[in-house]
Amino acid sequence: MQRRMLLSMAGQKAALIWERISAGRRSRKLDYSAIVCAAMKLADDEGIEAVSMRKVAEALGVGTMSLYRYVTGKDDLLDLILDAAYGEIPLQEASGADWRKHLRVVAIETRQVLKEHKWLALLISRRPTLGPNYLRWFEFLLATTGASGRSMRTRARVIGTLWAYISGFIAYELGEIETNRRYKLTEAKKRRMVQPYLTQIIATGKYPCLTEFLKIGIGQPTDQDFKIGLDAVLAGIDSLGP
């Protein structure tokens, strides 16, 4: 995470949006909240690539130059909506005795927000995460893992492992959704497309486990699948030393 931050910030001369946000000018038509809402709606409706200064200005009914009183360009817009999405993750007050329960709940809530904003997982890997809502989320995870008495290095590893599970699961989910949308695929259509090839593979007798898997028909990942895998990850974390 620190490496991403440093690379993203390298060479930047302007202050970060979080340093400038309180100094932005105000008008009757425009404020940061309106800008964020318009940019997030564009990203939700048309994808993250659709977010631009021009389109956000059009959605708000103002001139593009008006936005420059608040943001320096598209990067600022992306940072703002990234942090706004993190602000949608509800966080309970952590208690030492329930650290595992709190990690489970925040993982489930984080995945839900990632599903609601399909651009979010990709944006996290591209932009520095320094906004107040992200830092609040990260602080919660640090405090929660700290309640177990582990060192900061181990806590960072725990959070990294938890995030790897969440982001990996959601990447598979959203990848399937996007493929189906792009090529107008249904489950029945996909089965018809691959069935001839799979029939040949199964006939060789070399893949007995795959044959059993296909007969059962696991289907697309579900909420229950996520929770079972999450519990396995948390059980492994529980067995870690200091």
Q: What is the pLDDT along the chain (242 residues), one digit of tens a residue?
A: 444 443 444 444 457 899 888 655 555 568 999 999 999 999 999 999 999 999 999 999 999 999 998 999 999 999 999 999 999 999 987 666 688 899 999 999 999 999 999 999 989 988 888 999 999 999 999 999 988 788 999 999 999 999 999 999 999 988 887 777 777 888 788 888 889 999 999 999 999 999 999 888 777 889 999 999 999 999 999 888 77
Residue where a domain stops, chosen among 31, 59, 86: 86
Would residue 142 count as lying in a domain?
Answer: yes
One domain for residues 39 and 64: yes
Query: Same structural domain for residues 56 and 75?
Result: yes
Where in the sequence is the domain holding 73, given as residue range(s)? Answer: 2-86
Sign of the CA dihedral 17, 18, 19, 24? Answer: positive
Any domain includes 188 = yes
Tell whether 205 and 150 lie within a shared domain: yes
On whether residue 79 sits in a domain, the answer given is yes
Give the count of domains, the chain. Answer: 2
* 46 located within any domain: yes
Query: Does one domain contain both 105 and 195?
Result: yes
Indicate whether 148 and 201 sit together in one domain. yes
- If asked whether residues 220 and 119 sit together in one domain, one would say yes
Query: Smallest Cα–Cα separation from 129: which of 78, 94, 60?
Result: 78
Predicted local distance difference test score (pLDDT) of residue 94: 63
Render the burial of 133-164: b for 16+ CB within 10 Å, e for the rest.
bbeebeebbebbbbbbebeeebbbebbeebbe
Residue 61, in any domain of the structure: yes
Given 60, 86, 112, the domain boundary residue is: 86
Any domain includes 25: yes
pTM for the full model? 0.84
pLDDT given at position 11: 44
91, part of any domain: no
pLDDT at site 2:
42
